[in-house]
């Protein structure tokens, strides 16, 4: 067997990738990942150096995974700064580390492809990758936001499991938004309706566009909103380049949904989603002016309406945000898995993960008591 490393996904034939990652998950789409590269969003300068992995046997792929060598921990949404500090205090280098995941995208989905006719393929991949990490002096390997089944399989193969909590919306066969609100208790339902009514009272109108309906001018406006908001809130530019939004995203038309807000005739804000056959993913947002409840309307309520209309089963609006609970987004466990090269630090990380998982489960259960739904009798 041979472990092959691809610094660019374009080094691997598109047909090989697409024949194996067939779920429709938008963030493992070949054009999405290569678009991140060609737009300059992922490269050595951004700290996301491509390191895509393929395990081959007699010129036949038996496992594939997107990967990146990282020299920092930004843009991952599974925070390990304390681990990096511990490495440094031990006189060791934490970076580079290997990350299997999607840059800047804390959305659960497929992370590895393994040959279903080869039951041992996952173990073979893990063995090959960890051996390579040891030989290259790479401190650790982190598989971020795999689905629960994959995460448990990785646990059984010896990787540590870590959990976080996000807030997702689930479609339980609602006919429209009002049908969804019927599940709320009276006080919470009135509060949400008041938020939605505030949009029209501020002379705001919103339009939802999908795919080819999104114009070149819309993409340029969205990028302007995105960068303006990043600079205002964090003091630095966003992770993704203008070329990614204006050159790459229009080619991903089957997966893109954009909500644009206008004050009168002037566009003032926009939210960008990606979609597959089952799930809507809320990803990016930007605004040029502040309006009461506009973020909730553009990023949450319009997304819920889209899911109901298209009969999607789940809406993943992104990381963090306890304010989502009172709007009907349910606390949901997400996962990551980790391998650490140094045995002593591996033991310390294992202890941390055990304690942290217990805390996260308790938090998930407590957060669920705050949902706005009527109490069942």
Beta carbons of 128 and 136 less than 8 angstroms apart? no
How much is the pLDDT for 377? Answer: 47
Q: What is the pLDDT of residues 123-171, one digit of tens each?
A: 999 999 999 999 999 999 999 999 999 999 999 999 999 999 999 999 9
Residue 232 pLDDT class (50, 70, 90 cuts): confident
Distance CA 262, CA 170 (A): 29
- Percent of the chain topping pLDDT 70: 99
Tokens of 86: 């511990």
CB atoms within 10 A of CB 357: 17
Distance between first and last Cα of the chain: 59
Beta carbons of 279 and 315 less than 8 angstroms apart? yes
Q: Given strand 256-263, what is the order of strands in its sheet?
A: 48-50, 68-70, 97-100, 140-144, 330-340, 160-170, 314-316, 279-287, 266-275, 256-263, 204-210
Going by the DSSP 8-state scheme, the letter that residue 184 receives in this structure is B
Task: Specify the residue for token string 């019927």.
Answer: 182
> How confident is the model over 230-244, as a mean pLDDT?
85
Distance CA 106, CA 359 (A): 20
Say whether pLDDT at 313 is over 90: yes
> How confident is the model over 40-57, as a mean pLDDT?
95
Rounding to the nearest 10 degrees, give the CA dihedral for residues 363, 366, 368, 370. Answer: -120
Q: What is the pLDDT of residues 254-288, one digit of tens each?
A: 899 999 999 999 999 999 999 999 999 999 999 99
> How confident is the model over 95-116, as a mean pLDDT?
96
Q: Provide the b/e sequence for 299-316 (b: ≥16 CB within 10 Å).
A: bbbbbbbbbbeeebeebb
Radius of gyration of the chain (CA): 22
Q: 167 pairs with which residues across the strands?
A: 331
Tokens of 98: 């290997």
Distance CA 122, CA 215 (A): 43
Return the CATH fold of 172-312.
Answer: Aminopeptidase (3.40.630)
Distance CA 45, CA 69 (A): 12
Would you kindly state where each structural domain of the chain is located, as residue ranges? Answer: 2-167+332-368, 172-312
Same fold, 2-167+332-368 and 172-312: yes
- Percent of the chain topping pLDDT 90: 94
pTM: 0.95
Say whether pLDDT at 233 is over 90: no
Which CATH class for the 2-167+332-368 domain? alpha beta
Mode of pairing for the β-strands spanning 279-287 and 314-316: parallel
Mode of pairing for the β-strands spanning 140-144 and 97-100: parallel
């Amino acid at each position: 067997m041979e472990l092959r490393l691809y610094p660019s996904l374009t080094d691997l034939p598109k047909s090989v990738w697409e024949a194996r990652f067939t779920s429709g998950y938008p963030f493992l789409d070949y054009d999405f990942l290569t678009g991140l590269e060609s737009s300059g969003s992922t490269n050595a300068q951004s700290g996301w150096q491509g390191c895509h992995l393929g395990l081959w046997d007699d010129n036949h792929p038996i496992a594939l995974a997107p990967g990146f060598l990282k020299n920092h921990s930004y843009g991952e949404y599974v925070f390990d700064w304390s681990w990096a500090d511990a490495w440094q205090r031990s006189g060791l280098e934490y970076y580079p580390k290997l990350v299997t995941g999607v840059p800047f995208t804390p959305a659960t989905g497929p992370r590895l492809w393994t040959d279903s006719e080869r039951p041992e393929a996952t173990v073979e991949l893990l063995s090959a990758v960890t051996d390579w990490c040891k030989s290259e002096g790479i401190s650790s390997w982190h598989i971020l936001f795999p689905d629960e089944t994959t995460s448990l399989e990785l646990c059984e193969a010896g990787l540590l499991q870590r959990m976080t909590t996000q807030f997702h919306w689930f479609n339980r066969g609602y006919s429209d938004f009002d049908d969804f609100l019927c599940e709320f208790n009276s006080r919470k339902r009135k509060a949400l309706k008041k938020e939605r009514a505030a949009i029209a009272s501020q002379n705001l109108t919103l339009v939802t566009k999908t795919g080819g309906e999104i114009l070149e001018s819309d993409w340029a406006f969205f990028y302007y909103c995105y960068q303006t908001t990043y600079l205002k809130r964090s003091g630095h530019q966003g992770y993704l380049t203008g070329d990614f939004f204006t050159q790459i995203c229009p080619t991903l038309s089957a997966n893109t949904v954009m909500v644009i807000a206008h004050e009168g005739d002037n566009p003032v804000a926009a939210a960008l989603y990606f979609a597959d056959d089952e799930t809507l993913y809320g990803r990016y947002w930007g605004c040029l002016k502040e309006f009461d409840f506009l973020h909730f309307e553009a990023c949450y309520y319009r997304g819920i309406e889209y899911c109901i209309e298209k009969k999607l089963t789940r809406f993943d609006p992104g990381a963090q945000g306890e304010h989502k609970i009172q709007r009907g987004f349910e606390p949901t466990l997400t996962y990551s898995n980790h391998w650490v090269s140094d045995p002593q630090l591996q033991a310390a990380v294992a202890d941390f993960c055990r304690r942290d998982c217990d805390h996260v489960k308790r938090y998930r259960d407590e957060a669920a008591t705050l949902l706005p739904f009527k109490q069942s009798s």
